[in-house]
Amino acid sequence: MKKPKLGQNFLVDDAARYAIVDALGDLSQRTVVEIGPGHGALTDILATRARKLIALELDPSLAAELRFRYREQPHVEVLNGDVLKIDLATLAAEGETLDVIGNLPYYITSDILLHLFSDVNAGKLLRAVLMMQREVADRVAAAPGVRDYGLLSATTQMNARVDNLFTLPPSAFQPPPDVYSSVIRLHFAPRFVELGIDAVGFDAFLKRCFAQKRKTLHNNLRAAGFTPEQLAAAWPREMPAQARAESLALEPMAALYRSLAQTQPA
């Protein structure tokens, strides 16, 4: 089936529309940012519940349609633009945190997640309810040691607690996508301070650790330029020599990062 432009599979299941917005809880005092409002499947409900709603839509004709629909509701603002180019933190008023919601355009799901986790948003985002392809949601929510755990899981779980809420079939959308979809909820709670590490350095370290799924962690770090001597000196005693990054919790990964930070790749 031909893919619709800009990931435009519109939600047409009424119960699902309400279940997704319900997952954000009480919005009467909240400012909500909606990513990709489309024809307004979630927007119509959010407009009745949120104190303020800012909807970010890339497609100019959809943005115009929504601006017209909410023209007499000043608490609803529709911005025409690319969510990846908008600094979300700037949408929050002084001292305010934001909630984020969106049936995401699937072609940029990971980019949107990384955008939400960017440093500039630290402390500005409270919760997010996001729909994405089921397989991606399973990876985001996976625990270490299970098949789906990987770089996206580790990166997400460094930044937020994840609830995998429910799954919808293709028939919930028009046109129906080729895949099932799942809704997740994030509570933003970065762990960098607690684990004694810096965000930028640790993100880069995780990319090296997970570079090749078939390789052990040791071999991935060798490929990243660490010498056997550096690795031997820094390797935590309780960490198996043949461990793979996919099997390790974030605490031992952070411990390894901290001790390797004393040395640099050759």
Interacting residue ranges for ligand SAM, rule: CB under 6 A:
6-11, 35-38, 41-42, 56-59, 62, 82-84, 103, 105, 108
- Residue closer to ligand SAM, measured from CB, 101 or 250: 101
- The residue among 115 and 218 lying less far from ligand SAM, judged by its C-beta, is 115
Report the distance separating Cα 211 and Cα 233, nearest Å: 22
Give min distance, CB of 247 to ligand SAM, in A.
34
Give min distance, CB of 66 to ligand SAM, in A.
10
d(CA 125, CA 102): 14
Strand locations in 89-218, DSSP E? 98-103, 125-133, 160-168, 173-174, 181-188
Task: Report the residue closest to ligand SAM, judged by CB.
Answer: 36
Between 108 and 140, whose beta carbon lies closer to ligand SAM? 108
Nearer to ligand SAM, 62 or 234 (CB): 62
Token representation of residue 20: 């997704």
Q: How far is the CB of 169 from ligand SAM (least distance, A)?
A: 15
Cβ partners under 8 Å of residue 263, min gap 6:
226, 230, 233, 234
CB of 250 to ligand SAM, least distance (A): 29
Helices then strands (H, E): number in the chain? 10, 9
